[in-house]
C-alpha cells in the first residue's frame, strides 16, 4: 500500500483544480499546468482536496498510485510557489551571464557556450559563478539544470566544473611519485 498515495493533496486558496476526463488542470497565481492522469488510477476532487486511488489491485496500478499523487502535488506547488535549482561553477575563469533570453557560459573551452532559455523557464545570475533556474514545471527546471551541468561535470580530482548547490563531489587522491 502506497504511503504517499494515501495522502490527499490539499489545494490552497487562490488555486483552482478542474478534472475533464483524464486531464487535470491546475490554475494558480503563477499560471496553469496540466497533467494527463494514468488509466491505472482514478482522481477525484472534493472541495479543496485532490485524492488519487488505484482502480485495481495490480502491481502497475499500485506503482502509478504514488507517482500520480506526487505529480499532482508538484503541479499545486508549481502554480503557487514554483521551483528553483541553483548551480555553482568552480574553476578559474568559469563564469556565466544572461543576455536577453540567452545564458552565456564560459567553461574553459576556446569558445563561449550560448544556452537559449526554454519557454516557461527563468534563469538569473546573481554573481558570475552562480546560476539560478526557476519555473513552474519541476521537470523542466530539473532538465534545464541537468543540461547546463552536462557541459562541464565536476571532476573528482580538483572539483572543477558545474555542480548543484549542496552537491557533494567525491574527491580522489592524485597520482603519487
Are residues 53 and 98 part of one domain?
A: no
What are the residues facing 162 on neighbouring strands?
A: 89
Rounded CA-CA distance 23/138 in Å is: 18
If one counts the domains in the chain, the total is: 2
Rounded CA-CA distance 131/134 in Å is: 10
Range(s) of the domain holding residue 22: 3-80
Are residues 12 and 61 part of one domain?
A: yes
Are residues 129 and 101 part of one domain?
A: yes
pLDDT for 88: 96
Give the C-alpha distances (Å, rounded to integers) separating 90 from 29, 38, 125, 159. 36, 42, 15, 7
Write down the pTM of the prediction: 0.89
Are residues 160 and 87 part of one domain?
A: yes
Rounded CA-CA distance 110/2 in Å is: 51
Is residue 169 domain-resident?
no
164 has pLDDT over 80 = yes
The residue among 64, 80, 96 that closes a domain is 80
Give the C-alpha distances (Å, rounded to integers) separating 71 from 16, 65, 164. 16, 10, 23
pLDDT for 47: 85
Average pLDDT over residues 12-41: 93
Rounded CA-CA distance 72/84 in Å is: 18
DSSP letter at 177 equals: -
Are residues 67 and 87 part of one domain?
A: no
Average pLDDT over residues 21-46: 93
Are residues 89 and 70 part of one domain?
A: no
The residue among 80, 95, 130 that closes a domain is 80
Amino acid at each position: 500500500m502506497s504511503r504517499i498515495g494515501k495522502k490527499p493533496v490539499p489545494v490552497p486558496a487562490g488555486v483552482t483544480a478542474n478534472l475533464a476526463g483524464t486531464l487535470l488542470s491546475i490554475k494558480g497565481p503563477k499560471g496553469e499546468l496540466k497533467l494527463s492522469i494514468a488509466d491505472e488510477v482514478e482522481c477525484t476532487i472534493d472541495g479543496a482536496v485532490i485524492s488519487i486511488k488505484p482502480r485495481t489491485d495490480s502491481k502497475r496500478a499500485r506503482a502509478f498510485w504514488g507517482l500520480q499523487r506526487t505529480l499532482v502535488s508538484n503541479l499545486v506547488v508549481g502554480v503557487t510557489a514554483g521551483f528553483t535549482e541553483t548551480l555553482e561553477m568552480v574553476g578559474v575563469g568559469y563564469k556565466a551571464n544572461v543576455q536577453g533570453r540567452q545564458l552565456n557560459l564560459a567553461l574553459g573551452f576556446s569558445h563561449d557556450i550560448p544556452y537559449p532559455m526554454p519557454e516557461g523557464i527563468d534563469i538569473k545570475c546573481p554573481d558570475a559563478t552562480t546560476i539560478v533556474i526557476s519555473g513552474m514545471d519541476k521537470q523542466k527546471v530539473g532538465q534545464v539544470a541537468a543540461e547546463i551541468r552536462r557541459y562541464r561535470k565536476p571532476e573528482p580530482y580538483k572539483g572543477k566544473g558545474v555542480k548543484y548547490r549542496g552537491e557533494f563531489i567525491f574527491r580522489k587522491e592524485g597520482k603519487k611519485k
